Amino acid sequence: MGWLGSLLSATFLTSNSTSSSRVGCGAVELLHPVGGAVYRHLKCKSISKVIESRAGISNFVRVIRAAFIAAILEDKGLTQVNLPSETTKRVRDDKNKSDHSRIEKPKPLFVLCVDELVKKGGLAHGSFIRSLRVLSGPIREPYLRGDLVDVTPKSRGVLPVQPEGFPNSFVRGSSGLYLRVGVHVEPAMTGEQQIKNNTLQAHVIAEPVIPDGGIAFGGPITIRIIEKGGQCRELVRIIESDGSRSDWGPITLYGEPVTTVKKQLAASGTIETAQISKKASPTGKSQEDGKVLNKNKSLFGDSYAVNHLAFNERLLHKGGYQALELIRLTNRTPLLWVRVDPHGLFDGRVALFQQDACLGEQLFHDGDASSQVEALRCLAERPHRVQGSVKVKNLYDVPVEELPVHLLADCLRGSVALHADLPHNPSVRSQAALTIAQWQNNKAPMTKNSGGWIGLNLLVQYLDERFFKDGRITSSRFCRVCLQTEVEPQEKLNNANNQTSTDSGEYQYLDMYYTERDRLSAIQNAKAVEREEDEEYRVRSSVVTAIACVRAKDGLSPPLVLDVLEKVLRVNEDVTPSTTESLEEDYLIRTKKRRKHSFSRPYRHKVDDEIEEELWFDDIRNMPYSSSFLIADALLALCYVNARPEVIEDPSTGKQTQSRENHPCLPLMILCRRWLDWDLFKESILIEREASHSSPIGCPSLIAPCAITALYSLALLRQSTTDSSVDEAVSTKDPQLSSELTALLDEAIDCNFYVNLFDTTPRRSDVTRAAAAQAVLSLCCASDRNNSGEAIGLLIGLEFILKRILEPTTSPGLKQTLASLMYDACTGKICSTQRVAIMARYNNLIDSGNRFFNGPLGSGYGSEYGASIHTLVSEQSMPAANAVNNGARRGLRFLKQAGKPSQGNLASEENLVRVAKFATDLWRTINGELGGIELSSSGDQYVTIPITTAVDGICAHDGVLRCSLLSLWQWLWPKGCIAVLRVQSWKEHEGTSRYKALGADEVMKIEDDEKEAAMVEDSLCNDLRQIISSEIDRQNWRGQMAAVRREELVSSKDLTANIQGLNYPLHIVQRDEAWKQGAWVASTASQRRGKGVDGGSTVSVTKLRLTVKGNE
Q: Does residue 1103 surpass a pLDDT of 90?
A: no
d(CA 386, CA 1085): 11
Asked if 234 contacts 345 with a C-beta cutoff of 8 angstroms, the reply is no
Model pLDDT, residue 590 = 64
Model pLDDT, residue 829 = 87
The kind and range of the H/E element at 293 are strand 293-296
Model pLDDT, residue 382 = 87
Model pLDDT, residue 33 = 43
Q: Does residue 1027 surpass a pLDDT of 50?
A: yes
778-829 pLDDT, tens digit per residue, is 999 999 888 777 889 999 999 999 999 998 888 888 998 899 899 889 988 8
320-346 pLDDT, tens digit per residue, is 568 888 888 888 899 999 999 998 888
Model pLDDT, residue 376 = 93
* Residue percentage of the chain with pLDDT more than 90: 21
Which has more pLDDT, 126 or 65? 65
Give mean pLDDT, residues 252-281: 67
Model pLDDT, residue 157 = 56
Least confident window among 17-21, 439-443, 530-534: 17-21
Model pLDDT, residue 1105 = 38
Model pLDDT, residue 731 = 58
pTM above 0.95, yes or no: no
Instruction: Output the CA–CA distances (angstroms, integers) from residue 20 to 4, 147, 876, in the order listed.
Output: 11, 17, 45
Give mean pLDDT, residues 505-517: 71
Model pLDDT, residue 267 = 79
735-771 pLDDT, tens digit per residue, is 666 777 888 888 899 999 999 999 988 888 889 999 9
282-320 pLDDT, tens digit per residue, is 333 333 343 433 444 566 554 434 555 566 666 666 555
Least confident window among 308-322, 418-432, 556-570, 610-624: 610-624
Give mean pLDDT, residues 1059-1080: 81
- What contacts 20, CB < 8 A, 6 or more positions away? 5, 11, 12, 14, 26, 29
Model pLDDT, residue 182 = 92
Q: Does residue 514 surpass a pLDDT of 70?
A: no
Model pLDDT, residue 456 = 92
Model pLDDT, residue 395 = 82
42-64 pLDDT, tens digit per residue, is 777 788 888 888 998 888 889 88
Asked if 184 contacts 1111 with a C-beta cutoff of 8 angstroms, the reply is yes
940-991 pLDDT, tens digit per residue, is 554 555 555 556 788 888 888 888 888 899 889 988 888 988 888 888 888 8
Model pLDDT, residue 317 = 64
Question: Residue 818: CA atoms inside 13 Å, Cβ hemisphere, count?
Answer: 26
d(CA 669, CA 926): 39
Least confident window among 275-284, 434-443, 582-591: 275-284
839-874 pLDDT, tens digit per residue, is 887 766 777 777 887 889 988 888 887 788 888 888
Burial 1040-1073 (b: 16+ CB within 10 A, else e): bbbbebbeebeeeeeeeeeebbbebbbbbbeeee
Model pLDDT, residue 175 = 81
Model pLDDT, residue 716 = 93
396-424 pLDDT, tens digit per residue, is 888 888 899 999 998 998 876 544 456 78
Asked if 922 contacts 1003 with a C-beta cutoff of 8 angstroms, the reply is no
How is residue 244 annotated by DSSP?
Answer: B
Instruction: Output the CA–CA distances (angstroms, integers) from residue 29 to 526, 605, 890, in the order listed.
Output: 62, 64, 30
Model pLDDT, residue 1034 = 80
Residue 919 pLDDT grade (very low, low, confident, very high; cuts 50, 70, 90): very high
Model pLDDT, residue 578 = 44
21-49 pLDDT, tens digit per residue, is 333 333 333 344 444 566 666 777 788 88
| Beta-bridge mates of residue 252 | 201
d(CA 1096, CA 1093): 5
Residue 90 pLDDT grade (very low, low, confident, very high; cuts 50, 70, 90): low
d(CA 523, CA 529): 8
Amino acid at residue number 1109: K
d(CA 509, CA 578): 17
Model pLDDT, residue 89 = 52
Least confident window among 97-111, 245-259, 838-852: 97-111
Give ∠ CA 362-364-366 in degrees, rounded to 5.
50
Question: Closest Cα to residue 410, out of 326, 513, 289, 507?
Answer: 326
Least confident window among 179-183, 326-330, 658-662: 658-662
Asked if 793 contacts 887 with a C-beta cutoff of 8 angstroms, the reply is yes
| Average pLDDT for the chain | 77
Model pLDDT, residue 768 = 92
- What contacts 725, CB < 8 A, 6 or more positions away? 658
Model pLDDT, residue 297 = 53
669-720 pLDDT, tens digit per residue, is 999 999 999 899 888 888 887 777 665 555 667 889 999 999 999 999 998 9
| Beta-bridge mates of residue 238 | 220
Q: Does residue 1088 surpass a pLDDT of 50?
A: yes
Ordered alpha helix ranges (H), 229-279:
261-268
